Structure 1
Amino acid sequence: MPKATPLHYLRATLFYAGFYPVTILYSAFCLLVGWALPFRPRFKLFTVLNYFYMIWLRICCGVRFEVSGLENLPRSGAYVVVANHQSEWETLYFQTLVRPQSVVLKQELLKLPFFGWALAMLQPIALDRSQRRGALKQLLSQGRDRLSQQVPVLIFPQGTRVKVGEMGRFNKGGAMLAVDSQVPVVPIVHNAGLYWPGKSFVKFPGVVQVRIGAPLATVERSVDDVHRESVAWIEQEMREIGA
């Protein structure tokens, strides 16, 4: 990880000087009009903001991204995305990649003023992580509902942000949901933590590598088999891109 310099702090300050006011204003607008829209048009409207984030991040901090394996992402239908979690970056970018989606997240995020309130209108699966057994039932119940509506579900099986160079523990929730609903699992890896470290104010210029794996079949397969295959692919690709 490079050492932060005064220039890095200056560029990050410029980024947030645009990030917060635009987030508040656009979220307020979405809260006013979003209730009148069906889910899919609402998702498209709300996530226009995420394209701004990516452009603004590149302008201010020099953080770009490259995606390989885009042909592996299903163009339609239900599937479960499992991805590593290192940064705030992927939570913003993935809403431009998987459209629409229902993201699995911690319940506390929905309490954030403006951003969290707007996020709550995008049908996330907001889990109370203090209730482990109840959280799994909620994931399967609400996830099954989203998938039945042909809305992909995005889950970060590590459960929380993990530092670059560490794997953490991958839970089986994504594999369980996919096997339960008989839909494919699409694994994705990235190394965003190199350029936007988790909970870091400073961003470092560079190119985030995003790799999308081939969909993994779940029909007539066990949860353990699907989980092992997805985790093996994720861990191998993370090592290759230095995540």
Structure 2
Amino acid sequence: MTLIRSLLFAFLFYPGTAVYVTGVILLSPFGDRTVRAIVHGWSDYHHWLVRNVLGIRMIFDGHVPEGAYLIAVKHEAMVETIEGLRLARTPVVVMKRELTQIPFFGWVTRRYGVIGVDREAGAKALRTMLAEAKQAAEQRRPVIIYPEGTRVPHGEKPDLRPGFAGLYRALGLPVVPVAHDSGRLWSRGLVKRPGIIRFKVGEVIPSGLKREEIEARVRDAINALND
């Protein structure tokens, strides 16, 4: 049954994503509000499929406040990258540059507003990320970042990538850390197991802390559900 659920999810989600992508492309001339409504509708569609097809329920402990914040999210699976659009109001997401170059889908991500990071570009990538993040903050849009830089298996607690501290220092924004345990159910493979994914929104961490302190506090907070 788990395999059947997973196959049905894939059968519905990926063609459905193509429909939403087409909708953004066709209706983009009607403005940002329309684009954002379609993208958020796609996130809601994904959430509905996860709940009703995969049998995965999500429980949220706390909520992300509105306004310009740096939202640091644990990264264990694909599910939280899409669910992140539901965590905050019109967030700008820091993501791999490769995803922003996927035909059609990549254009939609850029039209909505994302920060594509080229991991091989070094200092240049950091400068680009900082400039785009500052623009998002000026628009009072929160910025979502996965400070570990890549997916990690549930239970692992790697050091944060240097780009997080640079972004934190440059933006001067408080941080909202978000922990979860999606990796228990959501593997890199096809099969997703039913159950409960817990999200825990930590206490807001103020701006202006030294690098060692902000990294330690964020690392502890985003791993709060790793026991």
TM-score, structure 1 normalization: 0.88
Secondary structure of 1:54's match? Answer: helix
**Which residue of structure 1 aligns with residue 218 of structure 2?**
230
Taking the TM superposition and a 5 Å limit, the aligned residue runs for 1:2-81 are 7-38=1-32, 40-70=33-63, 73-75=64-66, 77-81=67-71
**Which residue of structure 1 aligns with residue 196 of structure 2?**
207
Taking the TM superposition and a 5 Å limit, the aligned residue runs for 1:20-169 are 20-38=14-32, 40-70=33-63, 73-75=64-66, 77-169=67-159
Q: Is the 8 A contact 1:80 1:174 kept in 2?
A: no
CA-based RMSD = 1.6
Amino acid at match of 1:9: L
Structure 1 residue 225: Cα displacement: 2.2
Q: Is the 8 A contact 2:68 2:137 kept in 1?
A: yes
Q: Is the 8 A contact 1:195 1:205 kept in 2?
A: yes
Amino acid at match of 1:216: I
TM-score, structure 2 normalization: 0.93
CA distance in 2, matches of 1:126, 1:132: 13
Aligned length in residues: 227
Structure 1 residue 200: Cα displacement: 1.7
CA spacing shift, 1:41–1:184, aligned 2, 3 Å: farther
Q: Is the 8 A contact 1:146 1:152 kept in 2?
A: yes
Amino acid at match of 2:28: G
Secondary structure of 1:157's match? Answer: coil
CA distance in 1, matches of 2:17, 2:151: 22
CA distance in 2, matches of 1:115, 1:193: 25
Amino acid at match of 1:17: F
**Which residue of structure 2 aligns with residue 175 of structure 1?**
165
CA deviation map 1:57-101 (0-9, x unaligned): 22211011000012xx212x2110111101000011110111211
Gaps of 5+ in 1: 1-6
